């Protein structure tokens, strides 16, 4: 009897979703990451096929778990929203993140950033933006036929993919949505949401008071011998509504 020798099984490749390092090295860097990521989530909230992530491991090559990067913020147009432990490009129809943001901290070295640029250039990023909040310095690269090229003038630059506008002032970087609205901080978003909630509550209370005032007016108007039709016209109600309220 001739026995067949089974080929050795290939070990499963593990794609870690963390390197044990913090998302950000300081509150300034973290604040910018959160602001950009949340505002992009808001911008594309109604598009189910735009995936936005912050500090998510991106593996561009199947079987090569040493080839990895974790952009501070990345945007993938053409891929569905949803949770992922990491972004494995071969499971995402081969679509690479088109837009990447990096926020510098004092610990970032030039060598580290050079490696990131090479990575993003090699694996298909179309737009790459770096902001240094300490120096209020913004740089950008845009893909051409030869790879990622420096964008010579970033002031009032509009992202071809995201349609957002970049503006620099002495106070720092400002990003604007396609409708001209400024990107908001988490605090501003929360404050606006609370103000909107209060306005809605005030409007609800005004509507209830107005409704109660109409209810209270109907018996008095009936006592003045006004007809149902006259009362309806005076209060801006239908005849049926007046009859119902009169019965109540």
| DSSP code string of 16-72 | -S--S--S-SSHHHHHHHHHHHHHHHHHTTT-TTEEEEES--EE-STT-TTS-B--S
- Distance of alpha carbon 55 from alpha carbon 57, whole angstroms: 7
Average pLDDT of the chain, as a whole number: 88
pLDDT band at 23 (very low <50, low <70, confident <90, very high): low
What is the 3-state composition of the chain as percent helix, strand, coil, each rounded to the nearest 5? 35, 20, 45
- Distance of alpha carbon 220 from alpha carbon 137, whole angstroms: 70
pLDDT band at 199 (very low <50, low <70, confident <90, very high): confident
Whole-structure pTM value: 0.75
- Distance of alpha carbon 84 from alpha carbon 72, whole angstroms: 15
pLDDT digits over 162-186, tens only? 999 999 988 899 999 999 999 988 7
């Amino acid at each position: 009897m001739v026995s067949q020798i089974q080929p050795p099984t290939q070990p499963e490749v593990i794609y870690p979703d963390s390197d044990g390092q913090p998302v950000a090295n300081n509150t300034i860097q973290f604040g910018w990451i959160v602001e950009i990521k949340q505002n992009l989530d808001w911008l594309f909230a109604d598009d189910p096929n735009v995936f936005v992530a912050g500090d998510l491991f991106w593996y561009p090559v199947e079987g090569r778990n040493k080839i990895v990067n974790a952009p501070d913020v990345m945007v993938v147009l053409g891929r569905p929203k949803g949770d992922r432990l990491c972004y494995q490009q071969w499971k995402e129809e081969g679509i690479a993140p088109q837009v990447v943001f990096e926020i510098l901290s004092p610990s970032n070295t030039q060598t580290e950033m050079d490696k990131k640029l090479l990575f993003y250039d090699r694996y298909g990023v179309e737009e790459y933006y770096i902001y240094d909040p300490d120096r209020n310095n913004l740089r950008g690269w845009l893909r051409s036929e030869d790879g990622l090229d420096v964008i010579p003038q970033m002031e009032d630059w509009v992202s071809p993919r995201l349609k957002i506008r970049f503006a620099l002032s002495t106070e720092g970087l400002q990003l604007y949505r396609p409708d001209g609205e400024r990107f908001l901080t988490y605090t501003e978003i929360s404050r606006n949401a609370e103000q909107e909630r209060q306005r809605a509550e005030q409007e609800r209370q005004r509507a209830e008071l107005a409704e109660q005032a109409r209810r209270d007016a109907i018996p008095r108007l009936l006592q003045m011998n006004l007809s149902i039709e006259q009362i309806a016209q005076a209060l801006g109600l239908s005849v049926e509504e007046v009859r119902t309220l009169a019965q109540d």
